Each structure stands twice: as structure tokens, then as C-alpha cells.
């Protein structure tokens, strides 16, 4: 647990100190947020707010994770390197998307094909490496079996596992990306999801997991250190991202953080818990799918605007109220997910 606390404190400190520097740098470079004209009119005042703050979250998480290992003279594992690499890779895709938006002064960055292609490239690389490189106990960080209480008979196989990894990356990264529309809305549930997966990683990676009647995932305990670093970095960023936001995470942050949550589920064999732990992101994504499908099929909209948080804005809810209530729901869902450790 000490290494988890060190990782969290190191990343928190770096995030708190690094974000103001990034704000000044992005403002000087003119890296301001572009606001879509068809969105809520109240968002027009946010035009020009520095964006791409997700780069600070990524840097703080990586450094916090490495500091914890240096302090306790421990080597990093394949699981840790995989999730760090995935976060950085998706962050690079998001950064490119943000940069194109700013450079061309438009709300669309990468084309849909290029964006999904970048996500697919990183996810496929992750899936291949996860099935080939082993942790210190000579076991690969992932299982190709469907798991919940134990590994079931259904084996995806290496090829289908790579496809599964892509689906998880695309779903979670785009879910967080869609949710990132209000000050602090997307980063708050990341803290709660990181805490939930941190507990799951610690317990499932513990040698007493069998005694506790839960699934034992060898090597996953190391991921609790990553979760600690992620939580610290996210909280530090939230200090500046809460309403009224001084900086936005941009796609650089939302794609990276979403993919990290998805891969934590894969690496801890808790994929079936992801819809609960990331419930807010699921609901936001589903609201967009329902809205588009309804309009194309019937010509009518189910919500005043999608994603869901915009619907509540247009019904008159103040932005801080929407954000806090979404946080409360996210917290409740994370707790519900953790209770399944006992219910199983």
C-alpha cells in the first residue's frame, strides 16, 4: 500500500504544479478550446479556454508510477508498462486531434476514419503485446478466457482477444470523450473508477484472493500503483478543471483516460464490471446512439440534445448541479461494483 500512496502523492503534486504552467503555455501559444455553434449558448463563454490539459494528467501519472518504483527499488511489470503505453498512445492520438482543431480553427480535428484508425492501431498493438510478454512470474498479463468469478470455458483465442481489446478501447475512450462536455464532468468519475479498479487490482492480485473467494489474477496487484498515480493526477487536474474551468483536458486526456479504464478492466479480468464502474460513460454514449437512431428512423429526437448532460442543461439545470449529481451516481455505481466481490 505504501507504493500506492507514494504514486498518488507524487502524481498529485506534479499535477498541481504542472497544470498552471501548462495553462500559461497553452494560452501563450493560443491553444484555446473551440466551441460548436449548435451547442448550448451558455458554452460560448468558454471559447478560448486552454485545452490539451490531458497531457499533464498523462505525464503526472507516468512520473508518479515510476517514482513509486524508484523509491521502493521495485521493477516495473509487463502489466504496468502495457497500461502506461496504452495511455500514452491514445494520448498521442487525442493530442493530434486537438492540435488539428486548433491549427485549422474548427471543431473537427481528425476525420472519423483517422481517429478510429489511431485507436485501432494502439489497441491492436496492446492486444498483441499483452498475449506475448510475461510478468515476473512468467505468466502473461491477460487471459483470453471470459472471467468473472473464475476463468470460464469460453476462450477467445489470441486473435479474438485482440478484437476484444479494440472494442474495449474504442468503447471506453469514446465514452469518456463524449462525457467531457461540462467542467469537471469527465474527470470526476475517472477518480472513482480508478479507486474501484485499484481495490480490485489489489485484492485480485493478493495471494489471499483464493481465501477471500475471489478471482486471483497473478500480477494484477501492480496495477493498484498505476491506479494510485491516476487518481492523484486526476485530482490535481480537477483543481483547475472544476467550474468555471481554467483548462480542459481535450481529446488528449479523454481518449487516454477512457482507454486506461477499459484496459484496467481487461488486465484485472473485470470486464463484466466495467459497465457499472464506468456507468456514467456508458449512459452518455448510449444517449447519443439512441438520439441518432431515433432521428434517422422516426425524424424525432428523444432528448433535447445529446449527450445526456446537454439534455439536462437545456431543461434548466445549472452546470455545477449536473456535474455533482453525475459524480454521485458514479460513486454509487463504483460502490455497487465493489460489492460484487462479496456477492460472488
Whether the per-residue pLDDT at 325 is higher than 50: the answer is: yes
Most confident stretch, 12-16, 35-39, 69-73, 312-316? 12-16
Nearest partner of 267 among 77, 66, 118, 92, judged by Cα: 77
> CA-CA distance, 275 to 278, in Å (whole number)?
5
At residue 92 the predicted structure's pLDDT band, cuts being 50, 70 and 90, is: very high
Whether the per-residue pLDDT at 342 is higher than 90: the answer is: no
| 47-75 pLDDT tens trace | 778 889 999 999 999 999 999 988 876 77
At residue 31 the predicted structure's pLDDT band, cuts being 50, 70 and 90, is: confident
The whole-number pLDDT of residue 146 equals 57
Mean pLDDT over residues 321-325, rounded? 96
Which of 42-46, 221-225, 243-247, 267-271 is least confident? 42-46
| Cell digits of residue 227 | 491506479
| Cell digits of residue 224 | 493498484
> CA-CA distance, 141 to 128, in Å (whole number)?
11
Task: Tell me the pTM.
Answer: 0.90
Say if residue 210 is exposed, middle or buried (CB neighbours under 10 Å; 0-12, 13-18, 19+).
exposed
The percent of residues above 90 in pLDDT, for the chain, comes to 55
The whole-number pLDDT of residue 197 equals 95
The whole-number pLDDT of residue 44 equals 62
The whole-number pLDDT of residue 112 equals 82
Say if residue 146 is exposed, middle or buried (CB neighbours under 10 Å; 0-12, 13-18, 19+).
middle
Cα of 220 vs its chain's centroid, Å: 18
| Cell digits of residue 250 | 481535450
At residue 138 the predicted structure's pLDDT band, cuts being 50, 70 and 90, is: very low
What is the total residue count of the chain? 344
Whether the per-residue pLDDT at 22 is higher than 80: the answer is: yes
Cell 492480485 -> residue: 205
Which of 2-6, 139-143, 303-307, 319-323 is least confident? 139-143
The whole-number pLDDT of residue 135 equals 54
Whether the per-residue pLDDT at 149 is higher than 50: the answer is: no
Which of 19-28, 101-110, 244-253, 261-270 is least confident? 101-110
| Cell digits of residue 29 | 501559444
| Cell digits of residue 15 | 499535477
> CA-CA distance, 174 to 172, in Å (whole number)?
6
| 247-291 pLDDT tens trace | 999 999 999 999 999 989 888 888 888 999 999 999 999 999 999
Alpha-carbon separation of residue 37 from 40, 142, 292, 343 (angstroms): 8, 44, 19, 48
Say if residue 250 is exposed, middle or buried (CB neighbours under 10 Å; 0-12, 13-18, 19+).
buried
Tell me the average pLDDT of the chain.
Answer: 85
Amino acid at each position: 500500500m505504501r507504493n500506492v500512496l507514494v504514486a498518488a502523492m507524487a502524481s498529485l503534486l506534479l499535477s498541481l504544479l504542472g497544470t498552471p504552467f501548462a495553462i500559461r503555455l497553452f494560452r501563450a501559444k493560443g491553444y484555446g478550446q473551440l466551441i460548436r455553434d449548435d451547442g448550448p449558448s451558455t458554452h460560448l463563454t468558454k471559447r478560448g479556454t486552454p485545452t490539451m490539459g490531458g497531457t499533464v494528467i498523462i505525464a503526472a501519472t507516468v512520473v508518479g508510477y515510476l517514482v513509486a518504483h524508484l523509491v521502493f527499488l521495485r521493477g516495473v511489470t509487463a502489466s504496468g508498462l502495457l497500461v502506461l503505453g496504452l495511455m500514452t498512445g491514445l494520448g498521442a492520438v487525442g493530442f493530434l486531434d486537438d492540435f488539428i482543431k486548433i491549427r485549422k480553427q474548427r471543431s473537427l480535428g481528425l476525420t472519423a476514419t483517422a481517429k478510429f484508425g489511431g485507436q485501432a492501431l494502439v489497441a491492436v498493438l496492446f492486444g498483441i503485446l499483452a498475449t506475448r510478454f510475461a510478468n515476473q512470474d512468467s505468466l502473461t498479463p491477460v487471459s483470453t478466457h471470459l472471467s468473472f468469478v473464475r476463468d470460464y470455458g469460453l476462450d477467445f483465442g489470441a486473435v479474438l482477444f485482440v478484437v476484444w481489446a479494440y472494442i474495449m478501447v474504442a468503447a471506453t475512450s469514446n465514452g469518456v470523450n463524449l462525457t467531457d462536455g461540462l467542467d469537471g464532468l469527465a474527470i470526476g468519475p475517472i477518480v472513482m473508477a480508478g479507486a474501484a479498479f485499484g481495490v480490485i487490482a489489489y485484492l485480485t492480485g493478493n495471494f489471499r484472493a483464493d481465501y477471500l473467494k475471489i478471482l486471483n489474477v497473478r500480477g494484477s496487484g501492480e496495477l493498484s500503483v498505476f491506479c494510485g498515480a491516476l487518481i492523484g493526477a486526476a485530482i490535481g487536474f480537477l483543481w483547475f478543471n472544476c467550474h468555471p474551468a481554467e483548462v480542459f483536458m481535450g481529446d488528449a486526456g479523454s481518449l487516454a483516460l477512457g482507454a486506461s479504464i477499459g484496459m484496467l478492466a481487461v488486465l484485472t479480468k473485470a470486464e463484466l464490471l466495467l459497465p457499472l464502474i464506468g456507468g456514467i460513460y456508458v449512459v452518455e454514449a448510449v444517449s447519443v446512439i439512441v438520439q441518432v437512431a431515433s432521428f434517422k428512423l422516426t425524424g424525432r429526437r428523444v432528448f433535447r440534445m445529446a449527450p445526456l448532460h446537454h439534455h439536462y442543461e437545456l431543461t434548466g439545470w445549472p452546470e455545477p448541479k449536473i456535474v455533482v449529481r453525475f459524480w454521485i451516481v458514479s460513486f454509487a455505481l463504483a460502490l455497487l461494483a465493489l460489492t460484487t466481490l462479496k456477492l460472488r
